[in-house]
Amino acid sequence: MGDSPAQVAVVTGAAGGIGRAVVCLLLARGYAVVAEDISRKVHELATSAPGTVVALEADVRLTESAQDAVGLAIRTFGRLDLLVNNAGLFLKPAASRAAAISRHPIGRILGPAEVAEAIVFLASPAASAITGAILSVDGGYVAR
């Protein structure tokens, strides 16, 4: 890689949903990313941004997967600045999802890009004074 990236991140669960949205937003902000997922779809990210995204097909339940991700970031980009541990978040079945939407204060479930914005904000210098806080990115669902 020629120029050094602004920062380097490892994102687990990167092949779809929130993880994919986080990877895309980090790329837009100048990060280099190790995209890790159990799904082969993670390789699509590396193909779409060669030299800036490195795919790692791995199961985060295994200790060596974490070691592999950190090692890959350091070997490829020279360092690691951010870990987004997103793997294991699953959507509810359609019937449960419909029921949740009907009870939701804003009448919808947040999209992956909305959650990604909060994650990337918290990793930014703009959030440097935020410590020990719980940020519920749920459109008011917990507060209802």
The identity of residue 141, as a single letter, is Y
Question: What pLDDT is stored for residue 32 in this prediction?
Answer: 97
**Domain presence at residue 55:** yes
**Domain presence at residue 70:** yes
Give dist(CA 6, CA 48) in Å, integer.
19
pLDDT in single tens digits along all 144 residues of the chain: 456 778 999 999 999 999 999 999 999 999 999 999 999 999 999 999 989 999 999 999 999 999 999 999 999 999 999 999 998 766 667 778 888 888 889 998 899 999 999 999 999 999 999 998 888 898 888 887
**Domain presence at residue 75:** yes
**Domain presence at residue 56:** yes
**Domain presence at residue 86:** yes
- Residue 96 CA to chain centroid, in angstroms? 24
Give dist(CA 51, CA 1) in Å, integer.
6
Look up the pTM and report it.
0.89
Any idea what the CATH number is for the domain that residue 36 is in? 3.40.50.720
Query: Are the C-beta atoms of residues 57 and 39 closer than 8 Å to each other?
Result: yes
Domain extent for 76 = 8-127
Q: Which sign, positive or negative, has the C-alpha torsion 60, 32, 121, 70?
A: positive
Work out how many domains the chain is built from and give that number: 1
